[in-house]
Amino acid sequence: MEDILDLYAEPYQVAFPVICFDEVPYQMVSETRLPLPMRNGKPERYDYEYRREGTCNLFMFLQPLAGWRHIKVTDQRTKQDFAWCMKDLVDIHFPEAERIRVVLDNLNTHSPAAFYEAFSPQQARYLTKKLEFHYTPEHSSWLNMAEVEISVLTEQCLDRRLASQAIVASEVGAWESERNAVRATIDWRFTIPNARDKLKKLYPVGEE
């Protein structure tokens, strides 16, 4: 835990960006009846029935200190999908970085081994040298600021009926552009002193 809180306390460094990474499934649904249009004194109304259209997956990339985020919409969240997300970080989003520090939870798909399943050994080794993983402790995924950003995304963009992966990608892309334009950040206030004070039971008892 303190390893991640130390990262969050560091000043912004272009060469060593800190990226929070997480994913969330999304249930796509469509209307079974056309909504009733808005009228004077009455909002647009939707029927309670809907049709399930399958699920897609949203990968969230967040650079808290820069107010930058990117959401990648995929069919699923396999090891290969994770590997390609990390390759995007290195080759597309932060090609000039010396080393990218990634905060993520400890899923079995979140491993450098995924690189060797998706790419050549040379490419996989290159990625492992460019990326530095910092895993959240078990049952402490709330330490990942990407979870906070996913909550904002859900509330502002996904809390409605979106019928296809193309529509999800379009709506999420528009939301992403607006948030990035104003460099929206997260007011993170949980620090190592907070952790030592509020989570004393998690620390071993020893001599001062």
Per domain, the residue ranges of the chain are 2-28+51-201
Tell me the backbone φ, ψ of residue 23, rounded to 5 degrees: -140, 160
Query: Three-class SS string for the chain?
Result: CHHHHHHHHCCCCCCCCEEEEEEEEEEEEEECCCCECCECCECCECCCCEEEEEEEEEEEEEEHHHCEEEEEEECCCCHHHHHHHHHHHHHHHCCCCCCEEEEECCCCCCCCHHHHHHCCHHHHHHHHHHEEEEECCCCCHHHCHHHHHHHHHHHHHHCCCCCCHHHHHHHHHHHHHHHHHCCCCCCCCCCHHHHHHHCHHHCCCCCC
pLDDT at site 195: 73
Which residue bears the tokens 């049709």? 51
104-161 pLDDT per residue, tens: 998 888 999 999 999 999 999 999 999 999 999 888 888 999 999 999 999 999 988 8
As a whole number of angstroms, the distance between CA 182 and CA 105 comes to 28
Q: How confident is the model at residue 191 (pLDDT cuts 50, 70, 90)?
A: confident
Span 1-17, average pLDDT: 92
Q: Which two tokens stand for residue 53?
A: 């259209």
Tell me if 141 sits within 8 A of 105, measured CB to CB. yes
Establish how many alpha carbons lie within 13 A of residue 148's alpha carbon, considering only the half-sphere containing its beta carbon. Answer: 14
pLDDT at site 99: 97
Q: Which two tokens stand for residue 170?
A: 């379009």
Q: Which two tokens stand for residue 202?
A: 């998690």
Other beta carbons less than 10 A from residue 38's beta carbon = 10
Span 71-76, average pLDDT: 96
Q: Is the whole model's pTM more than 0.95, yes or no? A: no
CATH architecture under which domain 2-28+51-201 falls: 2-Layer Sandwich (3.30)
Q: Is the pLDDT of residue 48 over 90?
A: no
Burial class (CB in 10 A: 0-12, 13-18, 19+), 114: buried
**Most distant CA pair in the chain, distance:** 71
Beta sheet of 50-63, edge-to-edge order: 68-74, 50-63, 18-31, 100-104, 131-135
